[in-house]
Amino acid sequence: MDLVFRDAEVVDGSGGPSYRADVAIDGGRIAAIVKEGAAAGCQRPTARRVVDAEGLALSPGFVDMHAHSDLALLRDPDHSAKAAQGVTLEVLGQDGLSYAPVDDRTLDEVRRTIAGWNGGAPGDTTVDLDWRTVGEYLDRLDGAHGGRGIAVNAAYLVPQGTVRMYAVGWEDRPATGPELDRMRQLVAEGLEQGAVGMSSGLTYTPGMYAPDAELTALCRVVAEYGGYYCPHHRSYGAGALRAYEEMVALTREAGCALHLAHATMNFGVNKGRAPELLALLDEALAGGADITLDTYPYTPGSTTLVAVLPSWAGEGGPEAVLARLRDEGTAERIRHDLEVVGSDGCHGVPMEWDTIEIAGVGDPGLAGFVGRRLDGWSTARRLLLDDRLGTTILQHVGHEENVRAIMRHRVHTGGSDGILQGLKPHPRAYGTFPEYLGRYVRELGVLSLEECVAHLTSRPAARLRLPDRGLVKEGYVADLVLFDPATVAAGATYASPRTLPVGIPHVLIDGRFVVEDGRRTDTLAGRAIRRTPVTRG
């Protein structure tokens, strides 16, 4: 054998009780599991290397079901933000906005739109964005860093907002028949080329301009290929429950699996209302719906500052937004929608500026704003203009009781929603998975260790329909994490958000150490994980 973990406490991802065993790896797969007290005559496996795992837990690698590493994986071969947490697979293309499929015009627009999430604004040459299709982007991941690959595995969702940008543009209207046909074609091509589903960002322009009938038509395409729909739905605030109901009904009509992105209940109007969401989901599940969800174990959210503006202000694209902000009369109308009406970009809740903390800026000259709370519209407007919409924020609007209730649900999975840009990003980018294991398992007992590991491993693998990942099981790919249940903890805090976790000495992808003795190796074992299309009928 290549490797044996000796005397590990195996938390196998199934949710069942842990057990003590030797686990042998050979050729990138789990070759043998010999439990303590195995029948006489069953020899303990030997290998070229033996790791003493006494006192440590061995689990499948963690799956980040909501990641914003679309360019980070190409820019940074180290990518310790995720590798050091034990993440072995990230799902990219989130919130309806990413970099494929595109043409030249769309690529320039999407780069401007999500520079606050990923960097990569026009003029940024750190990554050569030379692909146009989903397949070409996945090939680029495989061939990254001189053909060595990427730090962790990555799957991709076709982004509906980008697709609409490509086929319709930035107009707030239903798509024409030919435009809808083109969007169906783009989604189908992306799925054929290996995407695992489709995402939407329904509080982000231009994806939010799509009516339900249009989304349903695209979800039917996703269903034909055995994929799933992952919406950031239309409200996490005043209309949250209606928005969840909308997504459940829409996907039931389309016959499509549903995965609810960062399924939170935020803002003051939703304090203590998680049980209402869970009752809605339980009723749908009992009726045969195929639903999962992801959350991060923190209360604040994080997005771009421009995202909170009303949808009408985004029509026409980034340059049109800037022009509206420069015009005094239009800017006053935006302020009124934000502060009095409740912008649809801010989930229908009137803005409370002191909940907004600046996390990052595109212009280094504006770095003095980072870490500050906004004091009103005039500062927000000036920052949007001066930073050309590149500002990222933390939004302190969550509720701990909702976070805990939702993470207990049987269809819950873990997703960091980690934005890696900015001087002071949300600590979830570097801390989500050890935060689950350290705070919510060991310290608070919200989940048992076995339950939590299942949420982070086998459950997301099942959603992604990966036949040989997500469990410590003979024959499965050796994507594994060895951690100390007594000490594992997130190092990242709001004050020091880029601090790496503790208590995770070893992480393997494809049987190769990407973290060894607590240090990131130079191994690039990650690849694009493509779903083989499954056509109905």
| Cα–Cα distance, 194 to 226 (Å, whole number) | 11
Q: Which residue has the tokens 């903890």?
A: 489
292-303 pLDDT per residue, tens: 999 999 999 999
pLDDT band at residue 534, thresholds of 50, 70 and 90? low
Q: Give the pLDDT mean for 259-286.
A: 97
**What tokens does 89 get?**
């697979």
17: preceding bond cis by omega (within 30 degrees):
no
For the cut 60, the answer to whether the pLDDT of residue 536 exceeds it is no
| Cα–Cα distance, 192 to 536 (Å, whole number) | 13
| Cα–Cα distance, 449 to 473 (Å, whole number) | 18
4-32 pLDDT per residue, tens: 999 999 999 999 999 999 999 999 999 99
Question: Partners of 292 in the beta sheet?
Answer: 259
| Cα–Cα distance, 411 to 408 (Å, whole number) | 9
For the cut 90, the answer to whether the pLDDT of residue 364 exceeds it is yes
CB 78 within 8 A of CB 520: yes
CB 310 within 8 A of CB 344: yes
pLDDT band at residue 322, thresholds of 50, 70 and 90? very high
The whole-model pTM stands at 0.96
DSSP, collapsed to helix, strand or coil, labels residue 174 as coil
**What tokens does 248 get?**
């459940």
> What is residue 537's predicted lDDT score, i.e. its pLDDT?
43
510-531 pLDDT per residue, tens: 999 999 999 999 999 999 999 8
> What is residue 264's predicted lDDT score, i.e. its pLDDT?
95
**What tokens does 385 get?**
């203009």
DSSP string, 224-276: HTT-EEEEE-S-SSTTHHHHHHHHHHHHHHHT-EEEETT----SGGGTT-HHH
> What is residue 506's predicted lDDT score, i.e. its pLDDT?
98
| Cα–Cα distance, 531 to 537 (Å, whole number) | 18
Q: Which CATH class name applies to 62-299+398-520?
A: alpha beta
Q: Give the pLDDT mean for 171-199.
A: 98
Q: Give the pLDDT mean for 250-273.
A: 97
Q: How many CA atoms lie within 13 A of 534 on its CB side?
A: 10
Which residues, in sequence order, are CB contacts of 468 under 8 Å at separation 6+?
Answer: 29, 475, 476, 477
Residue 206 neighbours by CB distance under 10 Å: 28
Which residues, in sequence order, are CB contacts of 127 under 8 Å at separation 6+?
Answer: 71, 74, 75, 120
Contacts 24+ apart (CB under 8 A), 174-178: 174/210, 174/211, 174/213, 174/214, 175/210, 175/214
68-102 pLDDT per residue, tens: 999 999 999 999 999 999 999 999 999 999 999 99
pLDDT band at residue 316, thresholds of 50, 70 and 90? very high
378-413 pLDDT per residue, tens: 999 999 999 999 999 999 999 999 999 999 999 999
| Cα–Cα distance, 112 to 208 (Å, whole number) | 17
Q: Give the pLDDT mean for 169-179.
A: 97
**What tokens does 510 get?**
């494809």
Question: Partners of 260 in the beta sheet?
Answer: 293
| Cα–Cα distance, 514 to 309 (Å, whole number) | 41
Phi, psi for residue 384 in degrees, rounded to 5: -60, -45
**Phi/psi zone of residue 426: left (φ > 0), alpha (ψ -120 to 50 degrees), beta?**
beta
Q: Give the pLDDT mean for 472-490.
A: 98
- Give the distance from CA 236 to its chain's centroid: 16
For the cut 90, the answer to whether the pLDDT of residue 535 exceeds it is no
Q: Give the pLDDT mean for 355-378.
A: 96
| Cα–Cα distance, 406 to 413 (Å, whole number) | 10
> Is the sign of the CA dihedral 309, 313, 315, 319 positive or negative?
negative
| Cα–Cα distance, 307 to 278 (Å, whole number) | 27
29-48 pLDDT per residue, tens: 999 999 998 765 678 899 99
Which residues, in sequence order, are CB contacts of 7 under 8 Å at separation 6+?
Answer: 20, 21, 22, 36, 52, 53, 54
Mean confidence (pLDDT) of the chain: 96
425: preceding bond cis by omega (within 30 degrees):
no
Question: Quick one: what percent of the chain has pLDDT higher than 90?
Answer: 97
| Cα–Cα distance, 184 to 218 (Å, whole number) | 6
- Give the distance from CA 531 to its chain's centroid: 18
Question: Quick one: what percent of the chain has pLDDT higher than 70?
Answer: 99
> What is residue 41's predicted lDDT score, i.e. its pLDDT?
63
> What is residue 42's predicted lDDT score, i.e. its pLDDT?
75
The domain limits of the chain are: 62-299+398-520, 303-396
